[in-house]
């Protein structure tokens, strides 16, 4: 991997949801901070959020880092975090919708309340964050939204994760819709899609899924959270200045989108 440009995101403010876990969110926060962004680490676990934000700030002294507690399923919490971020830093230039939940179960047994929770976190939360932040980007001259998706909707959730797959399919549509609306205002909106990723809680909790045929892809291994973070950094950067409305698959060739 090439050396990181420590000034690539200088002067830009990035808000990342579910940024304090040990997987994709934290990897994204660290990558953006390494590129000089001001990073707002949000997560629903207060202690973990504070600790991770402090650790990132220590590792990347050129970046400003703030940790804020956020449950993306709660609209009032989103309002509070967006208002605090703008009051503190003046703008939000990059939004990474990473927070998601996936409760694996067959439809015969699935709890309807769990369905509602998955939809609220995986789809309604990202929509409302876009609804709050895209007008700020418009008024500030542009910005970038990167949604964290999955190829689960392309394979029907493989019969084990229908709610998750349905919300991620809808997130693809939201990505393209927001790209249409944001484009005239200098706002690019893209999505990074993937299958299983090393270093995430879901993969650690379900090691049996790694043994499924084809899951390692034609490259023979799973991507790591830092590989997803690098894709996010690319889409949020000027290197991708003419890329919008796209679903970028980072899955080692385990699924090749038509």
> What are the residue numbers of the active site?
164
Nearest to 246 by CA among 196, 195, 179, 152: 179
Residue 57: how many CB atoms within 10 A of its CB? 17
Determine contact, residues 167/126, Cβ cutoff 8 Å: no
Report the b/e string of 182-193 with b at 16+ CB within 10 A: beeeebbbbbbb
**Helix %, strand %, coil % for the chain, to 5?**
50, 15, 35
3-class DSSP state for residue 90? coil
- Please name the residue ranges forming H helices in 61-155: 75-89, 112-119, 125-140
Determine contact, residues 249/255, Cβ cutoff 8 Å: yes
């Amino acid at each position: 991997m090439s050396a990181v440009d420590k000034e690539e995101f200088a002067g830009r403010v990035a808000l990342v949801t579910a940024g304090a876990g040990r997987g994709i969110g934290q990897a994204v926060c660290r990558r953006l901070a390494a590129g000089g962004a001001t990073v707002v680490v949000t997560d629903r676990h207060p202690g973990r959020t504070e600790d991770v934000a402090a650790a990132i700030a220590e590792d990347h002294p050129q970046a400003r880092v703030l940790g804020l507690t956020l449950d993306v399923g709660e609209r009032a919490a989103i309002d509070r975090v967006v208002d605090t971020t703008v009051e503190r830093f003046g703008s939000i230039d990059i939004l990474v919708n990473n927070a998601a939940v996936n409760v694996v179960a067959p439809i015969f047994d699935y709890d309807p309340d769990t369905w509602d929770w998955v939809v609220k976190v995986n789809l309604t939360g990202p929509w409302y964050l876009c609804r709050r932040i895209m007008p700020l980007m418009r008024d500030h001259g542009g910005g970038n939204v990167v949604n964290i998706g999955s190829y689960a909707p392309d394979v029907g959730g493989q019969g084990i994760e229908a709610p998750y797959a349905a919300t991620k399919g809808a997130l693809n549509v939201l990505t393209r819709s927001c790209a249409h609306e944001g484009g005239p205002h200098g706002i690019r909106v893209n999505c990074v899609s993937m299958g299983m990723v090393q270093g995430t809680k879901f993969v650690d909790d379900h090691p049996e899924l790694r043994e499924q045929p084809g899951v390692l892809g034609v490259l023979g291994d799973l991507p790591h959270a830092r590989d997803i973070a690098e894709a996010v950094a690319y889409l949020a950067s000027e290197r991708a200045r003419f890329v919008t409305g796209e679903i970028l698959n980072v899955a080692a060739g385990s699924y090749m989108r038509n």
